[in-house]
Structure 1
Amino acid sequence: MKIRLQLFEFEDLPWFPRVIRAGMMDYLRFMISLLGTYQPIVPQLRDAMAKASTSDLLELGAGAGGGTEGVLRRLHAIGLPTARITLTDLYPQPAAWQLLAARTPGLTYEASPVDATAVPATLTGFRTIFSAFHHFPPSLAEAILADAVQQKAGIGVFEGAGKHWLEILLAWTVLPVAQLLFTPFMRPFRLSRLFFTYLVPLIPLFTIWDGTVSILRMYPPAQLLALAHRADPQRTFEWQAGKVRHWWGPEVTYLIGVPRSK
């Protein structure tokens, strides 16, 4: 699927209820962690961090932190034992992040809002964006990459899908069933999550819509490279984009940029 439709996701709307957004993010974090969605890209991320001469990650648009624990542990296991990660978001979720930080060595977070298009210079490290880059229209997506180029910060953009029609079918069928099954086991525990999943099922309904739109809004590798080249007209970074497949089938779409060695 090469088309990209700039539709809207409810979680992006400023008036959208925080309690519903948090429930959706909790589900996304739980499923990404359970399925190990981003494990296939860890070797590429490790190599990019080595080229950028850093063991620190700065996650932008972290949401509830989906997949972060698994990625960090895998980095520790394959040659970066000192790797650390700081979670940031324009809509911080300290309650969810505190839980992750308490059980994950090397994981911290920034409690203040952080705009991915204008990251404060005090927040350093190799920038990552998991499951969030599709939220940004081309102008803002390009601005995110341009800010990394301007500050000479390596950046990796990762989407846990390969942009296929089958993935939309899964979003309509299998994943809603999984959401109903797994919601009682999600942490931190929230009565609101149970209420808006089973009694008034707003969380599942909005998740189906946003999950479908997320796939339609995803940038395929060629478009990711085009954005990167517009953000870096002087070609001061080395850019690569593509897809890697998980051992059990699904793909991860990625863009990685690292400052060129002088």
Structure 2
Amino acid sequence: MNIRLQLFEFEDQRWFPHVIRQGMLDFLRFMITRLNAYEAATPLLQELLERTGQRHITDLCSGAGGGIAAIQQELSQRTESPVTITLSDLYPNIGAYEYLQHTSGGSIRFVPTPVDATAAPESVKGVRTIFSSFHHFPPHLAKAILQDAADKCAAIGIFEGAKKSWLELLLLWLFFPVIILVVTPFVRPFRLSRLFFTYIIPLIPLGILWDGTVSLLRMYTPEQLERMASEIRAPNYTWRSGRTGTGPGKDVIYLLGYPEEVESIKVEKPESP
């Protein structure tokens, strides 16, 4: 699937009810975590940490923080030292972030105020990541995110949990309606509103199916990411894109970017929670 269509997703709309957006993002976090969908991205993220001497990640456009707990644990094991993560978003999902902070023992923290990925504040430290969200941005804003990272000499990893194929689109429509109905009672933190808008008025399932379809159609291919990165004004910056993974639910499209002169980067030590 080499086409890219800039269609709209409900969760991007300012008027879209927060309770429905939250229910959709909580389901996405649950599925990404259960499938360990970003397992193949962990070695790539470890590479960025080691190249820059960092042990802290600031995740941009975090949504509900899907899969981030497993990534934090595996990275800490791989690097044999604690790796901490700060979640951030233009529309912070505070309930999900508080849940992740509590269950991680403080290894995962969050910024409670809105953070614009195209112009990250100076408080954003460490390696930057974006999981499952880069496709939301049209090319000019996507390039602004990459340019902001390059301007501030920050390493960045873009990861999309898909191969971008017609098979994935077919599986979405055939199996996800049933999966949503089966797993919703097990999604945490528990919310009565999630049950109501899944089983009584099924706005959450409909939103998931529409936004999931549009996400695949909006997703950038590795070739498109590479062309985009080539337009970033950053003479001493290295970019690499590609696909990795082992099959449906485990495939990842990625773009890595980091300053070449890594020895000149100051290692940022996150503040104690």
Same fold (TM over 0.5): yes
Contact 1:37 1:246 in 2 (8 A): no
How big is the alpha-carbon RMSD for the aligned residues of Structure 1 and Structure 2?
A: 1.2
Match in the other structure for 1:259: 259
1:183 is matched with 184
User: Following the alignment from structure 1 to structure 2, what is the Cα–Cα distance between the partners of residues 30 and 246?
Assistant: 20
Structure 2 residue matching 1:128: 3-state secondary structure: strand
Instruction: Look up the match of 1:74.
Output: 74
Contact 1:229–1:235, Cα closer than 8 Å, also in 2: no
Q: Deviations over 1:144-197 (max 9, x none)?
A: 000000111100000000100011111112122111100001111111100000
Residue 151 of structure 1: aligned partner: 152
Instruction: Output the CA distance in 1 between the equivalents of 2:248 and 2:216.
Output: 19
Q: Name the SS for the 1:173 alignment partner.
A: helix
Tell me the distance in 1 between the aligned counterparts of 2:203 and 2:235: 45
* 1:14 equivalent in structure 2: 14
1:150-229 map, 5 Å: 150-229=151-230
C-alpha displacement of 1:81: 2.2
Q: Retained in 1: the 8 A contact 2:156–2:257?
A: yes
Residue in structure 2 matched with residue 98 of structure 1 by the alignment: 98
Contact map agreement 1:63 1:92 (CA 8 A) in 2: yes
Cα distance in 1 between the residues matched to 2:249 and 2:198: 29
**Structure 2: where are the runs of 5+ without partners?**
265-273
Percent identical residues: 50
Confirm or deny: 8 A CA contact 2:35 2:250 kept in the other structure. Answer: no
Query: Following superposition, which runs of at least 4 residues in structure 1 exceed 4 angstroms of deviation?
Result: none
Q: How does 1:113-132 map to 2 (within 5 A)?
A: 113-132=114-133
Post-superposition offset of 1:246: 2.9
AA in 2 matched with 1:70:
A
SS in 2 for 1:171: helix
Displacement after TM superposition at 1:71 (Å): 0.6
Q: Does 1:51 align with 2:48?
A: no
Structure 2 length as normaliser, TM-score? 0.93
Report if the CA contact (8 A) 1:149-1:236 is conserved.
no
Q: 1:55, 1:80 within 8 Å by CA — same for their partners in 2?
A: no
SS of residue matched to 1:196: helix
Q: State the Cα distance separating 1:64 from its structure 2 match.
A: 0.4
Residue correspondences, number: 261
User: Which shifted more, 15-24 or 47-56?
Assistant: 47-56
Q: Show the counterpart of 2:270.
A: none
Where 1:198 maps in the other structure, the secondary structure is helix
Distance in structure 2 (CA, Å) of the matches to 1:80 and 1:162: 31
